[in-house]
Structure 1
C-alpha cells in the first residue's frame, strides 16, 4: 500500500463521517424548504404517500452522493497538496 493511500485512510474516514452529518443537515433543510414540514418521512410511515416517500428518498440520495463526491475530491486534492501524490 502506498504511503499516501495509507495516510489518506484515517483522513478519508473522518471526512466521510463529517460529510454524512453535513449531508443529513442539508437534506433536512432542503426538505423543510420544499415541503414546509419539520419532519422528514420514513418509508414505513403509513400516513405518507408513495410519492412523498420516493421523492424524499431520491432527494436524500442525491444530496448524500453530491456531498460524498465533494468531500472525497477535496480530501484527495488536499492529500496531494500535502504529500505530493494522489491517494488513489
Structure 2
C-alpha cells in the first residue's frame, strides 16, 4: 500500500465521521422544511405510513450520500494541494 494512502487513512476516517454529522443535521432541517415533525419515522414506527417511512429513508440516504461524496472529494482535493499526490 502506498505511503500516501496510509497517511490519508486517519484523515479519511475523520472526514467520514464529519460527513455523517453534517448529513444528519441537514436531513433534520430538510425534514422540518417539508412540514413534518421534528423526528423522521423509523422503519418500525407503527404510527407512520409506508410512504412516509420510505420517503424519509430515501431522502436520508440521498442526503447522506451527497454530503459524504462532497466531503470526501474536498478532502482529496485539499490533500493533493498540500502534498501534490492524490490520496486514492
TM-score for the superposition, normalised by structure 2: 0.96
How far the C-alpha of 1:35 sits from its partner, in A, is 2.3
Structure 1 segments of 4 or more deviating over 6 A? Answer: none
Structure 2 stretches of 5 or more lacking a match?
Answer: none
What is the aligned length?
A: 88
Structure 1 stretches lacking a partner, 5+ long: none
RMSD of Structure 2 on Structure 1 (CA): 0.8
Cα distance in structure 2, aligned partners of 1:77 and 1:47: 45
1:52 is displaced (CA, Å) by: 0.2
Mapped partners of 1:15, 1:21: distance in 2: 10
SS in structure 1 opposite 2:45? coil
1:3 aligns with: 3
Greater relative CO (CA pairs within 8 A, separation 6+): 1
> 2: distance between equivalents of 1:79 and 1:26?
25
Name the residue aligned to 1:63: 63
Deviations 1:33-85 (A, max 9, x none): 10241111111000000000000000000000000100110011111111110
The answer to whether structure 1 residue 77 and structure 2 residue 74 are counterparts is no
